[in-house]
Amino acid sequence: ENALAVAKRPGPNKDKLEAYLGVAAVAWQVKNKDEAAKFVKEALNLVKETKETISPWHLLPLIKLGARTEDAETVKDLAKNLPPPFKLRAQLEIFLAACEKSTGEVSVDALGDLETADKDGTTLAIAWNALAQQNARLGNKLEHNRRVFEDRMSTVTAPSDIIDRIRPMVDLGWYIGSMK
């Protein structure tokens, strides 16, 4: 309550946003999801109401926290207008949050935005790693993850060198997920 009162004090919106994000990040880190969600909501409201330009460096952590505490659709709109490198990272954070929240298999269709935007495959490889971890935690075998990857790559227009760089990340993700 004290943190909220301090963050709401009169002052520049940039400072308020930093305060909201700081408290939300700490709350999330100590697993106080309700408190994190409260501060994310305050930050989202501030961003919606302000006429000032918000730095992508502030929007990215808001998207990261917002995707984990709010409905991901709430923050997808924020990601749309970010400069390309920030947008790609924001799309990854939204996908990672979907994997974290899911109690079942995450559809490969959720990778669509990343497949379209990622030209070098690095971010997409991280996403496939997370997807493989999620599937492994559900008890899926390595062969299942490989088959899901190969099936998806047969329908996506990606250069073969990018596909070849992502493939080991699927195996690594499965291995990490099977250990949890």
39, 23 Cβ separation under 8 angstroms:
yes
Vertex 172, ends 170 and 176: CA angle to 5°?
115
Average pLDDT over residues 22-37: 93
Maximum distance among all alpha carbons in the chain? 57
- Rounded to whole angstroms, how far apart are CA atoms 164 and 121? 10
Q: 65 in helix, strand or coil?
A: helix
By percentage, how much of the chain surpasses pLDDT 90?
Answer: 72
pLDDT digits (tens, 9 = 90+) for 47-84: 999 988 999 999 999 999 999 987 778 888 899 889 99
Question: Is the Cα torsion angle 130, 136, 140, 141 positive or negative in sign?
Answer: positive
pTM over the 0.85 mark:
yes
* pLDDT band with cut points at 50, 70 and 90 for residue 167: very high
